[in-house]
Structure 1
Amino acid sequence: MFCPKCGATIPDSDNKEKSGSKVVKNILLVLLILVLMAVSGLGTAAYMMFHNKSSGATYEGKGYNTPEEAAKAYAEAFANKDINEMLSCCAIESYVDNLDYEAQIERYGAYMPTIFGGPIMTGDDEATRQINIEERKGQLTNFIIRAYLRVSQPIDSPIFSGLALQVGDGKEYDADEVVDMLKGASDIDSIKVGDVEDCYYFLQASSNDNSDKIHKTLKKVYGGKIEWLGVELEIDGEDYVMFVDAIQYDEKWYILAPHGTGASIAGLDVYSGGICELALLD
């Protein structure tokens, strides 16, 4: 547009508005990107702060005064379907910091990368520690999954066979049947927690010299005193026992293994999650 008097160019008001609007949008876009970068950075910083050894924040809680208290707290969290609380009852960071991996390898007489409870790396830097903490947490979560599946399905359910279930036309199962068997916690209406006892109370057996020897070996491997326990549960009206091992670190007790030694003595396989009906132990 030109001025009729002097011939000078006059900026088009529409173009000026469009240009101004575009500048504002670009500024807002840049600000949004900066905010997102800041949030991402804070998230990363928070993650590192939460898991860094010097921060004091951990997946595991503050621990309990007795092994029985730790076992009961874990069972109550299981009853409430509170997964974070279950994990907080377990030794996670303390486990990683105290585990003697060389002693564990010697105990089994072999390197067994898939065995429950072992870190995947043995370096002494912080990155290795963080990876091992996440690995430990993942292993505990797998046992929690198995426990919920076990109490939602009978012991002879095919999902506990350890075998692949063939599905499809002409096969033994339909996919929807398998999915239905895997509902887990959502299939359970009521869990009541009873007393905590030494695992032998449920096994109609008693500790012996071999048990004492195993305790000493485990203390060397895991770096703390260990107790083998069982917790009474009533699940949808049926009596169960949950076997757990508790360990003491710095005068506090945590859950070492959700699939406790009592479960192994009873002959329960890994798919049981350390839980079985009391009637099966008679």
Structure 2
Amino acid sequence: MHTLCVLWAIVVVAAAAVTASEPKCKVCQELNEVSCESETTYYMCSDNKKFGDLQTCPYNTVCTNDQRVCVNKLTESIKNLCHNIDVWTSKCQNCTGNEYACVSKTEYTRCIVGMMSFPISCKADEICVTEAQSTNKDRSLCVPKCVADYNGYVPSCGNEKYATTTRVSPNFFVPDDSEIKSLCTDNAVKYPDVDWFYWRYGNYCKSYIYCQARDEGTKKTWIGEFRNCPANVPFFNIDVGRCEAKEPKRCLIHF
């Protein structure tokens, strides 16, 4: 009888260990070292801690426990870690298939090639609701609070303000805001007819800068945001304006 009890205890402990190590949403995974924050977003992990900017999976893929992180075909072992989590999270900071995305209770951003750009504030009496872009004629996500209350809308994000996480650069240094602005302003002459563009940063194609124009009266000024490519597509290809798995030939060329 004593032997059976010991064996049963071993089985219970083993089962608990398996359960503890099962991949979960919003938890750093051992296999691929990322933390899926929603079905389509994730953070990189190091020493079981999240770091860097919130990354967005490519179109038609979801965040999983697989080494590739974002995949479009699930199996018994490859799981969509944040499937059916609360709607609050899946509608927040999610650019997949959307032109705009809410990033806080009162802020939204434009989605460029499935990635977030700069936060834009709604008016003082408005909240950001993801569903609004499919119903409003002007595609706006900002909804007056009185309208939101009448229709039963709640903010798509729970955070008061949008804040990017600490930027960690594969180039071992990160440009400050003044350098980013200068790079965008200097290179904007190559893109005279656009309001935004990407510019590669560093010599290893691991980082890039998103540049956005702002109209100030009759003058156009430029601001930018530094970003890193995610681990599953680590190389930025300036020719197509996106991160890819294959290293571009131009990576070691200064321009």
- More helix by percentage: 1
- Larger RCO of the pair (alpha carbons < 8 Å, separation 6+): 1
Larger Rg: 1
